[in-house]
A and B are shown apart, each in its own frame.
Chain A
């Protein structure tokens, strides 16, 4: 069983450090190395989205990460108070269209959905809550 809480500031320069801290936590779980990378990708993308779209790069705004794990799954809850950013409203990107238009962003949510088994979002009392789940396969 793992229960860890990490609070980070909304600064893109701390993404590297966040990934490092999260990896150290994931190493205590039963997640395979391949899935560790997937979970890291999802958290990095989710946190980047919060910093950019919900907090508008306001560094003083905190982002709360709670990592829970048992034998069967690992669950990451990312919470922040800021603008509503609902990943469900983000369409699946058309890569060929993006290339044609030189559009280079908007792939994060797609990537999160690709790598995680469950993605749940809610917005209540001014708080965004994103729950990411990865099942531990043997």
Chain B
């Protein structure tokens, strides 16, 4: 079984950086969803999600972001995706999510969204 890991850390201005490693599919998406919901429970709504180490994403994985961005934005936050691999970005494109989510190439540009 391939590794699946989620690490998170609080940055300046209550921005949460979530690093995901492995694959986000119908088996693993619940873990990321739980992590985001836990932050919502702490009234934290600003997220930078680093997908640079995600090798595969399915609709269930992308669905985590669709399910969370509404609540995040309603509370003054947002979800910014950084550095997705081409095959991961393709799924965002196919679902029409690239127009809805900010997809950044670096931490610096992602952080600017929250300034």
Interface residues of A in 16-66 (CB under 8 A from B): 16-17, 19, 37, 40-41, 44-45, 48, 51-52
Report the stretch among A1-9, A74-82, A92-100 that lies at the interface.
A92-100
Q: Are B71 and A105 in contact (CB under 8 A)?
A: no
Known: A37-B90, A48-B26. A104 touches B64 (CB 8 A): yes
Contacts A37-B87, A104-B66; is A110 near B25 (CB within 8 Å)?
no
* CB–CB A99/B94 < 8 A: no
Interface residues on B, range: 20 to 34
Question: Could you name 15 residue pairs across A and B whose Cβ atoms are closer than 8 Å?
Answer: A16-B23, A17-B1, A44-B56, A48-B58, A52-B26, A95-B96, A95-B97, A95-B100, A100-B70, A102-B68, A102-B71, A107-B59, A108-B59, A110-B95, A111-B59
Chain A nearest CB from B100 CB (Å) reads: 7
Q: Does A105 lie within 8 Å of B63, measured CB to CB?
A: yes
Render B69-82 as a binary contact track against A, CB cut-off 8 A, 1 for contact: 11100000000000
Chain B residue numbers with a CB within 8 Å of A70 are none
With A105-B60, A115-B94 known to touch, is A99 a contact of B87 (CB < 8 Å)? no
What 1/0 mask marks residues of chain B from 14 to 42 whose CB sits below 8 Å from any chain A CB? 00000000010111000001000000000
Counting CB contacts under 8 A, is A119 at the interface? Answer: no
Alpha-carbon distance between A119 and B108 when the two chains are bound, in angstroms: 43
Interface assignment of B107: CB less than 8 Å from any CB of chain A: no
For A16, A19, A101, A115, which residue has the most chain B Cβ atoms within 10 angstroms? A16
Residues on B with beta carbons closer than 8 Å to the beta carbon of A16: 1-2, 23, 25, 27
Given contacts A95-B100, A111-B95, contact A45 B69 (CB under 8 A): no
Q: In whole angstroms, what is the CA distance A48 to B59 when docked?
A: 10
Whole-angstrom distance between the alpha carbons of A115 and B69 in the complex?
A: 25
Among B26, B27, B60, B100, contact of A99 (Cβ-Cβ < 8 Å): B100
Task: Give the nearest-CB partner of B65 in chain A.
Answer: A104
Hey, which chain A residues are within 8 Å of B23, CB to CB?
Answer: 16
Q: A15, A40, A99: which contacts B69 (Cβ < 8 A)?
A: A99
Interface residues of B in 86-110 (CB under 8 A from A): 87, 90-91, 94-97, 100
Taking the nearest CB of chain B, how far is it from the CB of A41, in angstroms? 7
> Given A16-B27, A45-B58, A52-B26 in contact, is the A103-B87 Cβ separation under 8 Å?
no
